[in-house]
Amino acid sequence: MRGGIVVLTLVGAAMIAAVIATVGIVSGDRRSLVFSLAVPGLAALVAAALGLIAGAGLVITRRRGRLVALVQRESRDAAAAEHRRFLARLDHELKNPVTAIRVAVAASDADTPQLGSIDAQTARLSRLVGDLRKLSELQTSDIERVPVSVSAWVADVVDAVRDAHGREASVALPAAPWPLPDVIGDPDLLFVALFNVVSNAMKYSEPGDVVEIRGDEQGGVVILDIADTGRGIPSAELVSVFDELARASNARDRPGSGLGLALVRTIVDRHGGEVTITSREGHGTRVRLRVPAAG
């Protein structure tokens, strides 16, 4: 009879411990549970049972974490794929009517300001649709991966910005104790990304404002900061500036499609990097490009 009581006590204690341990694992409660039992050897058995249960709970928790991460990744991939399909459909649906309008305007004998405006706006829409298509294709197409000199990359962009805007951007890249390492990527796409950022800094600042390009390297990552003392971006709109067609409310007086920063983000993402932005309206903006260094 005494043996039966011991067994029942052991089973009951183990069941209680299992329930409490499971609740603790699920709820995240890490407090210790202490049993004081008068049956010889029972404490050791209960401790062993608790160890097994805790180990099993840890395995379940880890597997659940991996499953959640997998589901989230698949959800992001599905959303990105749907977004690309939407852009492709948009391109298909708009291309033919836009072309038809431009052909009709070109064939018209009338030469009026209204027709000229229609032609200009349909040309703009045609370019916008084409840019959306290129942006969609860039998200999945193969890109070149070769060593790219950061100093040459920046110098090419500064020259192009000078030609486009007639203004100089100051450059500060480290030369000591060594220059910035190369990055691996597509030279043309990297040029487009940096040019768009520097060009924006010029576009949304005045001739007397400062535009700077500063470089650094931290932990195998090349960092380029493009900063200006221009008009800045309203704080409430910073979360959406990288979205397609997004334009700040204080930028409507300057020409633009709202695709520049979306293209920058896509290019930098494809190179395994990251782009971030900080800004204060009325004071200026800083865009930071982080691209993995070669080797």
DSSP secondary structure of 151-187: HHHHHHHHHHHHHHHS---EEE---SS-PPPPEEE-H
- Give residue 81's pLDDT: 65
Dihedral sign (CA 202, 206, 208, 212): negative
Residues 94-117 have pLDDT tens digits of: 777 777 887 887 777 777 877 877
Determine contact, residues 136/80, Cβ cutoff 8 Å: no
Name residue, tokens 């991460």. 69
| 38-59 average pLDDT score | 65
This prediction's pTM: 0.64
Burial 177-202 (b: 16+ CB within 10 A, else e): eeebbbbbbbbebbbbbbbbbbbbbb
CA distance 196 to 263: 8
- Give residue 107's pLDDT: 78
Angle formed at CA 201 by CA 196 and CA 205, multiple of 5 degrees: 145
Helix (H) or strand (E) holding 204: none
- Give residue 102's pLDDT: 77
The runs of H, that is alpha helices, within the chain are: 2-27, 42-107, 113-138, 150-165, 187-203, 260-270
Helix (H) or strand (E) holding 292: strand 284-292
- Give residue 18's pLDDT: 47
Residues 123-155 have pLDDT tens digits of: 777 777 777 777 777 888 888 999 999 999 999
SS3 category, 35: coil
Structure tokens at 225: 């900061």
- Is residue 267's pLDDT more than 90? yes
- Give residue 131's pLDDT: 72
Mean pLDDT of the chain: 80
- Model confidence at 35, pLDDT cuts 50, 70, 90, reads very low
- Is residue 4's pLDDT more than 80? no
Q: Which of 61-75, 84-98, 109-123, 179-193 has the lowest mean pLDDT?
A: 84-98
CA distance 289 to 277: 9
